Amino acid sequence: MECVFGLVGDGFVIVASDTSAVNSILVHKTNEDKIMKLDSHKFVAASGESGDRVQFTEYIQKNVALYQFRNGIPLTTAAAANFTRGELATALRKNPYMVNILLAGHDKETGPSLYYIDYIATLHKVDKGAFGYGSFFCLSLMDRHYHSGMSVEEAIELVDKCITEIQSRLVVAPPNFVIKIVDRDGAREYAWRESVKDTPIAQPEALGV
Amino acid sequence: MARYDRAITVFSPDGHLFQVEYALEAVRKGNAAVGVRGTDIVVLGVEKKSAAKLQDSRSVKKIVSLDDHVALVCAGLKADARVLVNKARIECQSYRLTVEDPVTVEYITRYIAGLQQKYTQSGGVRPFGLSTLIVGFDPHLGVPALYQTDPSGAFSAWKANATGRNSNSMREFLEKNYKETSGQETVKLAIRALLEVVESGGKNIEVAVMTKDQGLRQLEEAEIDAIVAEIEAEKAAAEAAKKAPPKDS
């Protein structure tokens, strides 16, 4: 039921993911941020087993940081994607990580890029990608409406169309989504789309104490 | 492994570990380095031995970052330094991965010192031939810190310290002239200490400052030259004042 999707626009990449943390029939929380900042200009949007997701993406994040300290310059998005794929591939036939990743980044020399990396270490450089049941709906919508060189407004419109489609057509649709953007100025959160907020704890006065 | 278990660093009859002491000799031959702790800033300075004409000086950075908030300078064997710095950088990330917190300066100093000590008590290896000055800010309390380690693996915290060539003269100078400073005053104190033993000029010293908010910043040659000029002017003014004391009428 997890949904992660993203697309490349004019000088930027947008990634969106649902924010529900679920265990069987229980929803642990509805504001789980699954898009981790890898460095100043890269995001890793991951879906899959929550333990593996956090372990693996944090491991990648720390190795990306180590590279930067050792070499004085950051990894390119392509290099980070290939490194991530390599780690998944190495673990695959012993202890596979059940994590699907969309790696989004912006490099000064080559601009924005998006990489599709699935749990069996497939690596593709793509303009648009999606994981999860939501992908059945997102990919079709993106095929219909995407064109290269979209502006931020156009891209967000498409992202919102995808979210609306997921929420109306998927049987156990996640209620909330987070949208993040990477461009020349860095990686940052763009917006949340919330239809359910965590209920606040009742105050003592309200209980008539 | 059969051939690599013989201890190389062993006690002498009068309780010395000669290998460690010889390592300290190697440190004494290394380039002069100084570290000063201010109230809101820490400064590291190191002498730059004149670069060979054909050498690309940008590839020789002596003041290195271990993490966003910790930096190090060392005196002694540069190749040994590379190994130690690499291990420390890995430890900084590994610590962040395990406990989701950045290292404290004390922790990483203890780690580096621990490594240096291990190599004085292991088979088949020699001690690291370098002393380090480690600076940084505590990630929670935001207070600046300066530590020193040496080949024996001993470490301690300092307000200001020097290591490498002529470190005794620099330390004496610091002991005489140290006072709690902040910002640019701390930078000046560090450079003044370094100038006691190094030819003056921006191209002979490398200086870096670390602040809580901006991390490590290497000073440009022009900046250093400007501060050196200020210091020389102050020295000249002090000399002049000594020679011709103002007449009280």
Pick among B59, B65, B97, B98 to test the A interface (most A CBs inside 10 A):
B97
DSSP one-letter code for A206: G
Does a structural domain hold residue B113?
yes
Residue A85, helix vs strand vs coil: helix
Does a structural domain hold residue B3?
no
Cβ atoms of B33 and B150 closer than 8 Å: no
Q: Among A58, A59, A69, select the one facing B67 at the smallest CB separation.
A: A69
* Structural domains of chain B, count: 1
- Which residues of chain A have a CB within 8 Å of the CB of B90? 66
Q: Residues with Cβ < 8 Å from A127, sequence gap 6 or more? A: A7, A8, A114, A146, A148
Between CA B151 and CA B132 the distance in angstroms is 9
Nearest-CA distance A168 → chain B (Å):
38
Pairing of strands B144-149, B155-157: antiparallel
CATH of the domain at A53: 3.60.20.10
Between CA B164 and CA B129 the distance in angstroms is 11
| Beta carbons of B97 and A58 less than 8 Å apart | yes
Does a structural domain hold residue A75?
yes
Q: What is the pLDDT of residue A207?
A: 60
Does a structural domain hold residue A103?
yes
pLDDT tens column, B173-184: 999 999 999 999
Q: What is the pLDDT of residue B245?
A: 64
Between CA A49 and CA A91 the distance in angstroms is 15
| Beta carbons of B89 and A62 less than 8 Å apart | no
Report which of B173, B151, B156 is spatially closest to residue B45, judged by C-alpha positions: B173
| Beta carbons of B89 and A66 less than 8 Å apart | yes
Q: What is the pLDDT of residue B89?
A: 97
B130 bridge partner residues: B76
Cβ atoms of B162 and B171 closer than 8 Å: yes
Between CA A75 and CA A84 the distance in angstroms is 12
| Beta carbons of B93 and A65 less than 8 Å apart | yes
Cβ atoms of A9 and A144 closer than 8 Å: no
Overall average pLDDT of the A124-133 stretch: 96
| Beta carbons of A66 and B90 less than 8 Å apart | yes
Does a structural domain hold residue B244?
no
Q: What is the pLDDT of residue A99?
A: 96
Cβ atoms of A202 and A33 closer than 8 Å: no
- Which residues of chain B have a CB within 8 Å of the CB of A66? 89-90, 93
| Beta carbons of B90 and A63 less than 8 Å apart | no
Pairing of strands A42-48, A99-107: antiparallel
Q: Residues with Cβ < 8 Å from A11, sequence gap 6 or more? A: A106, A111, A112, A183, A184
Does a structural domain hold residue A160?
yes
Does a structural domain hold residue B243?
no
Q: What is the pLDDT of residue B2?
A: 67
CATH of the domain at B122: 3.60.20.10
ipTM value > 0.90: no
Element (H, E) at B79: helix B78-99
Does a structural domain hold residue B10?
no
- Average predicted confidence (pLDDT) for chain A: 93
Phi, psi for B102 (deg, rounded to 5)? -70, 155
Chain B, residues 64-103, CB within 8 A of chain A, namely 65-67, 86, 89-90, 92-94, 96-97
Does a structural domain hold residue B249?
no
Does a structural domain hold residue A162?
yes
The CA-CA-CA angle for residues A38, A39, A44, to 5°, reads 25
Between CA A106 and CA B207 the distance in angstroms is 32
Rg of chain A over all Cα atoms, to the nearest angstrom: 18
Residue A170, helix vs strand vs coil: coil
Report which of B164, B92, B152, B154 is spatially closest to residue B128, judged by C-alpha positions: B152
Between CA A155 and CA A162 the distance in angstroms is 11
Model pTM score: 0.90
Cβ atoms of A133 and A170 closer than 8 Å: yes
Does a structural domain hold residue B133?
yes
* Structural domains of chain A, count: 1
- Which residues of chain A have a CB within 8 Å of the CB of B67? 69
> With pLDDT > 90 as the criterion, what percentage of chain B qualifies?
81
Report which of A186, A148, A179 is spatially closest to residue A161, judged by C-alpha positions: A179
Q: What is the pLDDT of residue A208?
A: 58
Q: Please indicate if any CB of chain B lies within 8 Å of the CB of A55.
A: no
- In chain B, whose CA is at the least distance from the CA of A64? B93
- Which residues of chain B have a CB within 8 Å of the CB of A69? 65-67, 89, 92-93
Q: What is the pLDDT of residue B6?
A: 87
Question: For chain B, which residues score pLDDT lower than 70?
Answer: 1-2, 200-202, 245-249
Domain boundaries, position B136: 16-48+57-234
Element (H, E) at B222: helix B221-243
User: Can you list the alpha helix ranges (DSSP code H) found in chain A?
Assistant: 50-71, 77-92, 135-145, 152-169
Domain boundaries, position A56: 4-194
Does a structural domain hold residue A200?
no
Nearest-CA distance B105 → chain A (Å):
17
Tokens for A77, please give them. Answer: 């998005």
Does a structural domain hold residue B7?
no
pLDDT tens column, A147-206: 999 999 999 999 999 999 999 999 999 999 999 999 999 999 999 999 887 666 666 665
Q: How far is CA B156 from CA A26, B135, B146, in A?
A: 52, 12, 9
| Beta carbons of B89 and A63 less than 8 Å apart | no
Does a structural domain hold residue A205?
no
pLDDT tens column, B11-61: 999 999 999 999 999 999 999 999 999 999 999 999 988 777 888 877 778
Q: At what angle do helices B78-99 and B105-118 cross, to 10 degrees?
A: 130
Report which of A189, A117, A128, A113 is spatially closest to residue A161, judged by C-alpha positions: A128
